[in-house]
Structure 1
Amino acid sequence: MAIVNGYKQNENEKKLDILNLPELEEKAKQIIPTGGFGYIVGGSEDEWTLRANRQAFTHKQIVPRALSNIEKPELDTNVFGLPLKTPIMMAPTAAQGLAHVEGEKDTARGVAAAGGLMAQSTYSSTSISDTSAAGNGAPQFFQLYMSKDWTFNESLLDEAKKAGVKGIILTVDATVDGYREADIINNFQFPIPMANLTKFSEGDGKGKGIAEIYASAAQKIGPDDVKRIADYTDLPVIVKGIESPEDALYAIGAGAAGVYVSNHGGRQLNGGPASFDVLEDVAKAVNGRVPIIFDSGVRRGSDVFKALASGADLVALGRPAIYGLALGGAQGVQSVFEHLGDELKIIMQLAGTKTIADVKKTNLLNIKY
């Protein structure tokens, strides 16, 4: 157990014996300090949208297919020109040092071992270069919380490009922070420095609350910013936080190379729709022009299947991977990804789908209870 500024960081490094991903939350709660756990698990206000993210997956059903004459489903896919062993990727999740002493470095190792795509946050506990190096050549994206200070943005983008990231995720649904009551109750302040903030004038993130961190973020983000980032980096820019067909088309028109359907895991606009409930309409509007990433509420292989069948090209995992990180470090993250992949293969077999391309052609039943 490491201790930084009085905060206990786990050092576990082990494979996990997982029954299911939902059970990991309670196990992680036992070892992550209260303030850190509250920050990780919490949603905004009374967490209606957070709960809706899970409930939404019951709004569509998978039809079993018999006599399909297939075996051994395959998870391999290719998105953004990147060959991947799984359509499950790591969502850009901040401050992973709250869960484990190695933070994003161990997450990158675990995701790489599972053959997935890693996305690291501006508000990471470890630097862009260190996180990238830990992945040992596996593909990674960098997620930008755009600052009011463009020189700071350039500094991060320069490091990301030098580190060899394959794309930039621009988060646009967090120009202010959601009202997260768990952080208020716990009087939570980040105990661990954020590596990407220590290197520049915005401070180190240590000893600050989430509202103070977001105060440095740009409150005005428009289509010109998408183009500016794409031109500056010469990398694909994926716009994250899309919840409507109109905004998806707006992002593509601004030059986005990808659309990321997400409500920030229920952490921002409480009372907004579940991400899964809007995915199909967004995908119909995009109509294959750019790849679609989806997250929010994913806990089961059937969730991944339904998201892919509803138009997603990649399905991102957030909290469960962080719980795996806390419980087992890099091997724990790998265990989470592999368990979810195993569940997905079972669903694919029973649904008569051999490949991810087959899954994406599947018609689901639309029945809301």
Structure 2
Amino acid sequence: MTVINGYEQSDREQKLTILNLPSLEAAAKKIIPSGGFGYISGGSEDEWTLKQNTMAFNHVQIVPRALTDMEQPSTQTQAFGIDLKTPIMMAPAAAQGLAHARGEAATAEGMAQVGALMAQSTYSSTSIADTAAAGKGAPQFFQLYMSKDWDFNQSLLDEAVKAGAKAIILTVDATVDGYREADIINNFQFPIPMANLTKFSEGDGKGKGIMEIYAAAAQKISPADVRRITEYTNLPVIVKGIQSPEDALLAIGAGAQGIYVSNHGGRQLNGGPASFDVLHEIAQAVNGRVPIIFDSGVRRGSHVFKALANGADLVALARPIIYGLALGGAQGVASVVSHLNDELLIDMQLAGTKTIEDVKRAKLLR
């Protein structure tokens, strides 16, 4: 363990033997301090939407195919002009130093090992530059929580461009924080400095509560902000937190080059629909004009398959990867993605889908 400001961080570095991704949560809970674990694992209010996110995958079924004369399916794919070994990516999750001393740097290293896309958060424990360096040239996206202070936004965007980010993910569903009871019970305050807040204009993030962090966030976000970020960075802007066809079309009309369907892992509007339940209608509205990223509730290879067959181009997750980070550092991260890939390959073979493009065309029973 590494101790910083009295908070115990895991410094494990090892490959993991994984039965399934859901089993990682209980194992990680034993080594992540209660405040940090509550922040990572918790959802809003009574966590109804959080639970529905995973349950919703049962609303459709994969049609098995047998006489397809195929073998050795491949998870290789391409999205946003980037060649990837898997459609599985790291969702931009904050403060990964709560799980491991190396934080996002270890996550980036592990994702690079398996040829998967890394996305890092504004509220990362490690800096944009250090996270990018840990990936050793592997593709990364940078996620922006817009601040009321445009100079702060510019400083982050400048750093992301300099670090070689391939796209900017603009999160639009977190203008206020969801009511997260675990953080209240634990009286949780961030014990570890947030590198991007330290470097720039809003303090170090250490010792702050969730409400204080979000108080600096922009509450008014409009299509004009999508255009402004696109013009400023000359990078693709992917709008994250889309849960309706109407917002998807507004984002594309403003120049968004990607739609990210997500309900923030059940951490924001409790009582809203499961992310998977809105994916199909949004994909129909987007109609292939831009790529779609999907997250929320993904725990199985079959979930990845169903999301792809339901309209996604990339499928992201965070909590299970962060648990793998706590349990095994960069190697633990790689182990989680590798296990999910193994499950996905089995599903692909049994559904007669040799490529990820075949999966996207696979039939689901609704």
Provide the TM-score with structure 2 as the length reference: 1.00
Distance in 2, matches of 1:282 and 1:151, equals 33
- In 2, the alpha carbon distance for the partners of 1:294 and 1:47 equals 20
Q: Which runs of 5+ in 1 are unaligned?
A: none
Tell me, in whole angstroms, the C-alpha distance in 1 between the residues paired with 2:113 and 2:67: 34
- Match of 1:264, as an amino acid? H
Q: 1:204 maps to which residue? A: 204
Report how far residue 323 of structure 1 moved: 0.1
Amino acid in the other structure paired with 1:274 = A
List, as ranges, runs of 4+ consecutive aligned residues in structure 1 with deviation greater than 2 Å. none
In the alignment, the residues of structure 2 paired with residue 141 and residue 331 of structure 1 have an alpha-carbon distance, to the nearest angstrom, of: 21
Report the equivalent of 2:84.
Answer: 84
Per the alignment, residue 19 of structure 2 pairs with 19
CA distance in 2, matches of 1:15, 1:200: 36
Match of residue 216 from structure 2:
216
Counterpart of 1:308?
308
Q: Counterpart of 2:193 in structure 1: which amino acid? A: P
Q: Which residue number corresponds to residue 44 of structure 1? A: 44
Q: 1:199: how far off?
A: 1.2
Q: Deviations over 1:68-126 (max 9, x none)?
A: 11111100001000000000000000000000000000000000001000000000000
Give 1:111-130 correspondences, 5 Å limit: 111-130=111-130
AA aligned to 1:114 is V
- Superimposed CA distance per residue, residues 184-230 of structure 1 (whole angstroms, 9 cap, x where no aligned partner): 00000000000000012211110011110000010000000000000
Q: Distance in 2 between matches of 1:47 and 1:214?
A: 20
- What is the aligned-residue identity percentage? 78
Matched, 1:3 2:3: yes
Residue 234 of structure 1 is matched in structure 2 by: 234
Find the residue that maps to 1:31 and give its secondary structure: coil
Amino acid at match of 2:364: L
The number of equivalent residue pairs is 366
* Aligned-partner SS, 2:251: helix
The answer to whether 1:156 aligns with 2:156 is yes
Q: Distance in 2 between matches of 1:13 and 1:205?
A: 27
Which residue identity does 2:214 align to in structure 1? Y
Instruction: After superposition, give the CA deviation of every residue in 1:260-283 in whole Å (9 maximum; x if it has no partner).
Output: 000000000000000000000000
For each residue in 1:41-92, what CA deviation from the matched residue of structure 2 results, as whole angstroms up to 9, or x when unmatched?
0000000000010110000000110111111110000100000000000000
Pairs within 5 Å for 1:264-283:
264-283=264-283
Matches of 1:98 and 1:166 in 2, distance apart?
Answer: 26
Q: Distance in 2 between matches of 1:100 and 1:157?
A: 26
The CA deviation string for residues 116-148 of structure 1, in whole angstroms up to 9 with x for no partner, is 000000000000000000000000000000000
Alignment of 1:217-366 (within 5 A): 217-366=217-366
Taking the aligned partners of 2:83 and 2:182, their CA distance within structure 1 comes to: 39
Residue aligned with 1:306, SS = helix
Q: What is the SS of the residue equivalent to 1:56?
A: helix
User: 1:363 offset after TM fit, Å?
Assistant: 1.4
Distance in 2 (CA, whole Å) between partners of 1:295 and 1:353 is 22
Letter in 1 for 2:169: I
**Structure-1 separation of matches of 2:357 and 2:365:** 19
Distance (Å, rounded) in 2 between the aligned partners of 1:291 and 1:269: 25
- Separation (CA, whole Å) in 2 of partners of 1:333 and 1:267: 22
Report the Cα offset of residue 177 of structure 1. Answer: 0.3
> C-alpha separation between the residues in 1 aligned to 2:126 and 2:163?
13
Aligned-partner Cα distance in 1 for 2:57–2:93: 22
1:100 and 2:100 matched = yes
Q: Give, in whole Å, the separation in 2 of the partners of 1:117 and 1:205.
A: 26
Unaligned runs of 5+ residues in structure 2 are none
Q: Tell me the distance in 2 between the aligned counterparts of 1:363 and 1:353.
A: 10
Residue type of the alignment partner of 2:271: G
For residue 173 of structure 1, what is the aligned residue in structure 2? Answer: 173
CA–CA separation in structure 1 for the residues paired with 2:21 and 2:223 = 37
Return the letter of the residue paired with 1:278: V
Q: CA deviation at 1:316?
A: 0.2
1:308 is displaced (CA, Å) by: 0.1
Distance 1:240 1:136 in 2: 26
Q: Distance in 2 between matches of 1:235 and 1:143?
A: 12
> Quick one: distance in 2 between partners of 1:114 and 1:303?
19
Q: Which whole-Å CA distance do the structure 1 matches of 2:70 and 2:188 have between them?
A: 51
Give me the TM-score of the superposition, normalised by structure 1: 0.99
RMSD: 0.4
Take 1:189 and 1:321, find their aligned partners in 2: how far apart are those partners? 22
User: 2:132 — aligned with what?
Assistant: 132
